[in-house]
Amino acid sequence: MIKQPISVIIPAAGESQRFHPRGREKRVSKIYSELNGEPMISRVIRVLSSVAQVRELVIAVEPGSEVVFRRKILNPLKSKKLIKVVSGGRSRAESVWNGLKRVSKECSYVCIHDAARPLVKGEWVTQLARRMNGCDGLVMGRRVIPTVKLLRASGAGDDIDRTLDRSSLFEAETPQLIKKELLLKAYRTLGAGAFRATDDSSLVEAIGGRIKAVIQPDSNVKVTTFQDLTAARRLASCEPTYCFGLGFDRHRLVPHRPFYLGGVRIQSRLGPLGHSDGDPLLHAITDGVLGAIGAGDIGDFFPDTDRKWERARSVRFLKKALELALKKGFRPAQVDATIFLERPKLGKTKRTVQFHLSQVLSLPIDKVSVKAKTLEGFGPEGSGIAVSCQALVVLKPSE
């Protein structure tokens, strides 16, 4: 298992000649084609940015399109990872080389992934990092299933020489994880010949490096033609797309504070102490939404050190989290919340809170659950000096 930060290189400068019908004068790169409501390249960047060990992404785009790429792709993503955009080359290998030269010194390993493989999963990179032991690089791919025959090098081009043993054949895909210095050495050693390579690991093999194969059974379609895009869309639509987030919040109860639960003020001689209005239920649900989309927690967006949020109504926090989720293509599907409170007894107030939450979340009332528990004297909640809430939030793709 490597512990050093990883730099991801994404070659995305192809002309997409086989993707468009013949005779079309102006071609838009296939990486901008939509997949589940977002451009293919956005999906690739979003997934790879979510890998904790990835420090940065270096993306090689079509020369002259750097500014447009940042405006149309990177700005809407608002990724927290460092992303560098470089000018691509005339070949895939040249684009990787241009990206390799911009990799940060802190990164000892590079992970190269094709922009045209949009079904990549973050756990694949983690798996490669875990298995990088005693070798110079790892290639993710699959065993060859069809029968493969070798054509004769001389004579008629359609004459079969022999049938190959498919048990020893491997179809190389991406991502590929390689030691940075060794890949740099390969480019420098092989010179112009390196730019004709169609596979990054083959360069390391050519200078004597040790490369291992990692078999993965999942779909990893490379979009070359429009028919490939249709297949990728079909496969992507079958993926489980629901996201889950768990939120929790606890506040001390003190005199002279209003008591808000789920945006509803309840009658009580004590109220939650907090920088904002201290609504523990809305805080828990907000954290659940942020957690479901991997955006951090409520303190990252609304810190208690900022006077702007002093005594602010917590419904503002939830609405902001919902906006962030919508930008990533998700909206609430269901919320299941539990309030831990000794007194006051909530009784019918739960129904009022449930109704208010259903309106804020734009959900049917039967998709919002609000439960209340006493802790029978145990802990600060049971002693009546604190209130806590937990919430399970389920998000689904927005229409």
Over residues 1-11, the pLDDT tens digits come to 788 999 999 99
pLDDT for the residue 3: 83
- Per residue in 238-282, pLDDT (tens digit) is 766 789 999 999 999 999 999 999 999 999 999 999 999 999 999
Query: Do 254 and 147 belong to one domain?
Result: no
User: Are the C-beta atoms of residues 91 and 98 closer than 8 Å to each other?
Assistant: no
When pLDDT is cut at 50, 70 and 90, the band that residue 154 belongs to is: low
Residue 351: inside a domain, yes or no?
Answer: yes
Alpha-carbon span 133 to 157, nearest angstrom:
42
Instruction: For residues 118 and 141, state if they share a domain.
Output: yes
Q: Determine the pLDDT at residue 333.
A: 95
Q: Is the domain of 213 the same as that of 252?
A: no
What pLDDT score was predicted for residue 337? 97
Domain end position, chosen among 181, 211, 238? 238
Instruction: Determine which of 28-32, 161-165, 316-320 has the lowest per-residue pLDDT on average.
Output: 28-32
Cβ atoms of 276 and 302 closer than 8 Å: yes
pLDDT band at 21 (very low <50, low <70, confident <90, very high): low
Domains of the chain: total: 2
Dmax (CA) for the chain in angstroms is: 96
For residues 36 and 85, membership in a common domain is answered with yes
Q: Among candidates 27, 43, 37, 24, which has minimal Cα distance to 221?
A: 43
H-type alpha helices, the chain: 40-49, 66-69, 75-77, 92-100, 122-131, 180-190, 200-206, 226-238, 280-292, 298-301, 315-327, 349-361, 379-382
| 374/390 same-domain check | yes
**What is the average pLDDT score of the chain?**
91
Q: Are 110 and 176 in a shared domain?
A: yes
Partners of residue 160 on adjacent β-strands: 151
Residue 272 lies in a domain: yes
Answer yes or no: do 220 and 248 share one domain.
Answer: no
The stretch 275-301 carries a mean pLDDT of 94
Q: Is the dihedral of CA 154, 158, 162, 165 positive or negative?
A: positive
Residue 346 is assigned to a structural domain of this protein: yes
| Same domain as 381, residue 308 | yes
pLDDT at res. 152: 83
Distance (Å, whole) CA 220 – CA 240 = 16
Co-location of 186 and 38 in the same domain: yes
397 pLDDT above the threshold of 70: yes
pLDDT for the residue 226: 87
Structure confidence at residue 20 (pLDDT)? 65
Q: What is the pLDDT at residue 16?
A: 65
Q: 1 in a domain, yes or no?
A: no
Q: Which domain covers residue 349, as residue numbers?
A: 243-397
pLDDT of residue 242: 87
